[in-house]
Amino acid sequence: MDVLMLSQDDVTRLLDLDDLLEALVEGFKALTSGQVRAPARNEISVPAGFLLAMPAHVPGGSIVVKLVSIFHGNQRLGLPGHQALICLFDPETGAPSAVMDGTYITALRTAAAAALSARLLAREQARTLAIIGAGVQGAAHLRMFTRVRDFTEIRVASLDLADAECVAALDSRARAVASAEQAVRGADVVSLCTTAAQPVVQYAWLTPGTHVTSVGYMPPDGELAREILEHGRLFVETRAAFAAPPVGCAELRGLDPERGTELGEVLLGLRAGRQSPGELTVYKSMGHAVEDLVAAQLVLKRAIADGAGRVVSL
């Protein structure tokens, strides 16, 4: 069998980020409408980290499976903490059709989904963005959030100021600040993208009307404070986010799933988004396989059109 192999360089070149935002819109609509088949993700843990398997299918497209490893100790080895492969299979024959790098897709689709939540839920006049975390996700958030709002000030905070300075250097509107509190106070949009096992932002720091996003995944706890969840209106990709990890989010454990509104429900007009200028809105990401599916299918379509990648006979 012949399989198209796409490297990280290929994927980076082929994935258009504005197209990704629009593909996620359709993906979240399909998810809420029940068109997406996505078994609960499973996990294999070893002492150094864990690996998640995330399959998904939407009628008319490929079967897509992502394998993503999360090994936070990799930084000392000079390796990414998250590494991933995405495999696509023909839905008629089950034959593998493509294998592509999933590390870049994971970073950008995660940030793009959070940015989409800001497009839907942040106040129209939002101009100040705070990014907490200056790793791969901090940089990806900076790229994606500036596509959905015209921010005039961007503050970046990290445990290591030098890391925050590196991310801030990617955009002339951004600057590194010394603490999360300094970044958050007065910000219109606050984006948490850390590997913290404990909350990194306090509710008392938030201005009325803020939109908060959180993509960190660090069971058994996490970066998002319960107090923020209790005071805000909560939005999720799917209510599966309320399940225990590895399916859902540790921070949402014990909360009533009906407290959460799916992004697809907002997009389809089934539930309201922001209801007042002073309302605190909160998006908590679980990272759903539909996001990998729509991104991978964008890459594959463009690769076929451009003749990109390398065909390997297995």
3-class DSSP state for residue 294?
helix
Q: What is the pLDDT of residues 236-280, one digit of tens each?
A: 999 999 999 999 999 999 999 999 999 999 999 999 999 999 999
Domains of the chain from N-terminus onward: 2-105+290-313 (3.30.1780.10), 108-288 (3.40.50.720)
Indicate if the pLDDT at residue 78 is higher than 90: no
What confidence score (pLDDT) does residue 199 get?
A: 97
Instruction: Name every residue whose Cβ is closer than 8 Å to that of residue 302 and which is 6 or more positions away in sequence.
Output: 14, 15, 16, 308
What confidence score (pLDDT) does residue 72 get?
A: 86
* pTM of the entire predicted model: 0.95
Indicate if the pLDDT at residue 53 is higher than 90: yes
**CA–CA separation, 194 and 184 (whole Å):** 15
Q: What is the pLDDT of residues 63-76, one digit of tens each?
A: 999 999 999 889 88
- Mean pLDDT for 143-159 is 97
Residue 178's pLDDT band (cuts 50, 70, 90): very high
Q: What is the pLDDT of residues 1-49, one digit of tens each?
A: 899 999 999 999 999 999 999 999 999 999 999 999 999 999 999 999 9
What confidence score (pLDDT) does residue 262 get?
A: 98
Q: Return the CA Rg of the chain.
A: 19
H helix intervals, the chain: 8-14, 17-32, 103-121, 136-145, 161-168, 180-184, 226-231, 263-267, 289-306
Mean of the per-residue pLDDT values of the chain = 96
